[in-house]
């Protein structure tokens, strides 16, 4: 699947710490399958709580679970704006 970047799309990886929104859709189907299995679905409330100490990683609250994501993984989550 080709990851096209639309200027209006808000990606989790570029969100500021504290940003809270809902998952709109995913950019990569393979990655999406894994996120779906963990319970991160379109419509899931998602909040970026903090970034990893050595950069890249995201500490995220998704509904009632806390999840650590790599930058590449956060990049495929498109948020509702």
Positions in the binding site for another protein (CB under 8 A):
29-30, 32-39, 41, 49-57, 59, 61, 63-71, 73
Beta bridge partners of 79: 10, 23
Please state the closest distance from residue 47 (CB atom) to another protein, in A.
10
Closer of 11 and 57 to another protein (Cβ): 57
What is the bridge-based pairing of β-strands 65-69 and 58-62? antiparallel
Please state the closest distance from residue 28 (CB atom) to another protein, in A.
10
């Amino acid at each position: 699947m080709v990851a096209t970047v639309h200027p209006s799309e808000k990606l989790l990886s570029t969100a500021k710490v504290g940003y809270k929104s809902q998952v709109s859709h995913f950019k990569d189907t393979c990655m999406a399958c894994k996120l779906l299995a963990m319970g991160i679905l379109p419509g899931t409330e998602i909040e970026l709580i903090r970034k990893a100490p050595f950069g890249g990683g995201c500490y995220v609250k998704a509904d009632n679970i806390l999840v650590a994501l790599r930058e590449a993984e956060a990049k495929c989550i498109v948020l509702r704006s």
